[in-house]
Amino acid sequence: MMNSRRIIFSAVLCATLARCEFLSAAQNDSPQNDNQSAMRTSNQHDKPSRTAGADSSREEGERVFAVHCARCHNAPESFSPRIAGTITRHMRVRANLSPDEERAVLEFFNP
């Protein structure tokens, strides 16, 4: 009884793995749906007129994310830009970010 449950559970895990790999491959083949990471999503929205200062701010945001946020968790693969401000405010409280760091992360999420 116990072995059969383990086998069923293992089968479900394998099926999920295969399904997600298939979906990932299909998504990667489609450039229009390529939003593998918050960082990449942000990059796709770059405007040609971006200034060097804004780029610098975004790089600072990427650095802040790497040293403060990624200490605890991996970055979510994508999220709506409409909640970028809410996420950074939550992270400001949870990770004790300074106001400058909060602004930099917001710029990184949603330039």
Partner 1 sequence: MRHFGPVLLFLYLLGLGGKASAQNTPLLSGGVAFVTNTTGGNTTYIPLIQPLAAVPLGDHLLVESRAGLLELFTPSSSGYQHSHFTALTYLQGDYIATRHLTVVGGSFLLPFGTYNERLTPVWIGNFQDESLAEPIGQMGTGVGLGGQVRGSIFSDAHSSFSYAAWFSARSGNLQFNSERSSGGRASVYLPGQRLELGASYGRLLQGSHENFGGAHLWWQTKDAGFRLRSETMRGEHAYGYWFEADYRPIRDGSGQVSFVRRFEPLLRMQQTFRIDNAASDGVPARNTQRADFGLDYNLPHNARILTSYSRQFSPGGDVNVWETGIVYRFLLPAWKGR
In the complex, least distance from residue 41 CB atom to partner 1, rounded to whole angstroms: 10
Interface ranges with partner 1 (CB under 8 A): 2, 5-6, 9, 13, 16-17, 20-21, 23-24, 27-28, 36-37, 39-40, 63, 67-68, 70-74, 76-77, 79-87, 89-90, 92-94, 96-101, 106, 110
Question: In the complex with partner 1, which residue's Cβ is closer, 58 or 68?
Answer: 68
Which amino acid is present at 55?
D
In the complex, least distance from residue 49 CB atom to partner 1, rounded to whole angstroms: 20
Nearest to 37 by CA among 70, 75, 69: 75
**Host H or E run for residue 66:** none
Number of Cβ within a 10 Å radius of residue 58: 23
In the complex, least distance from residue 17 CB atom to partner 1, rounded to whole angstroms: 7
Number of Cβ within a 10 Å radius of residue 17: 10
Question: In the complex with partner 1, which residue's Cβ is closer, 19 or 50?
Answer: 19
62-90 in b/e burial notation, b at 16+ Cβ within 10 A?
bebbeebbeeeeeeeeebeeeebeebbee
Question: In the complex with partner 1, which residue's Cβ is closer, 32 or 80?
Answer: 80
